[in-house]
Structure 1
Amino acid sequence: GIIRILDRPAPPNPDWDSNNPDPATSSAPYRVYNIGNNNPVELMDYIEALEASLGKTAEKELLPLQPGDVPDTYADVDDLVEEFGYKPSMSVKQGVENFAVWYKEYNKL
């Protein structure tokens, strides 16, 4: 995803007003895109992927949702798809596995 957007930096918004800023726009010539997976993943599936990739079992203390916890969340990649025709397709399992391999190599574990 990052490679596709490097050659097309966002232009500054000439209508941007610092006295009445719109958080979805900026006077700076950049734009932030969410390049995460746009499918919800259960927390336990994510934890199991980490456990499998790291070869360790997590110590879990399961509790009900706490104040401020978000029950469902996932990346909204609509802007990335619309502007660049790119939709991330890597599964969370594969992404976690790739991260674990990198982490172990980087930290010489």
Structure 2
Amino acid sequence: MHHRGIRTKRDGVVATLRRPALPNEAFDKQAPQSSTSWAPYRVFNIGHSEPVQLMDFIRTLEAALGVTAQLDFQPMAPGDVPATFADVSALQAWTGVSPHTDLASGIGRFVEWYRAYYA
């Protein structure tokens, strides 16, 4: 299936609406997976499929907000993970689309929305 890029999470949601979920005929109640079921639903991760360094995220957020963060570095706490990113392979397989919003654009749109919503 050809993978088309999507620019926003809304685009990813719309892509899933164009291909409604079907029951998973192979669903095993003894070994369930949370992303599918005997019921007609699917769970998809809609995000960027590559990790971003925390300091890159912070610097990009600072630039979008026009402020400098006051950083207080602490040791990792229980439950912290050294790296994480969205696995969008299920979304790609089901809809043929994959997210490709770059960090600066995504944070910029979020800051715009946040400021308008809480104005």
- Which category describes the TM-score, using the shorter chain as reference length? 0.7 to 0.9
Choose 79-88 or 20-29, whichever is displaced more: 20-29
Aligned residue number for residue 57 of structure 1: 68
> Where has structure 1 moved over 6 Å in runs of 4 or more?
none
The CA RMSD measured in Å over matched residues stands at 1.7
Asked if 1 retains the 8 angstrom alpha-carbon contact of 2:46 and 2:88, the reply is: yes
Matched, 1:107 2:107: no
Out of 34, 44, 52, the residue aligned to residue 33 of structure 1 is 44
Aligned residue number for residue 94 of structure 1: 105
- Could you tell me which runs of 5 or more consecutive residues in structure 2 were left unpaired when the two chains were aligned: 1-11
Using the alignment, how far apart are the partners of 1:22 and 1:55 within structure 2? 46
Give % identity: 46
Using the alignment, how far apart are the partners of 1:58 and 1:52 within structure 2? 10
Aligned length: 107
Amino acid at match of 1:23: Q
Name the TM-score, length of structure 1 as normaliser: 0.85
Structure number with the bigger relative contact order (C-alpha 8 A, sep ≥ 6) is 2
- Could you tell me which runs of 5 or more consecutive residues in structure 1 were left unpaired when the two chains were aligned: none
Name the TM-score, length of structure 2 as normaliser: 0.79
Normalized per residue, the structure richer in strand is 2
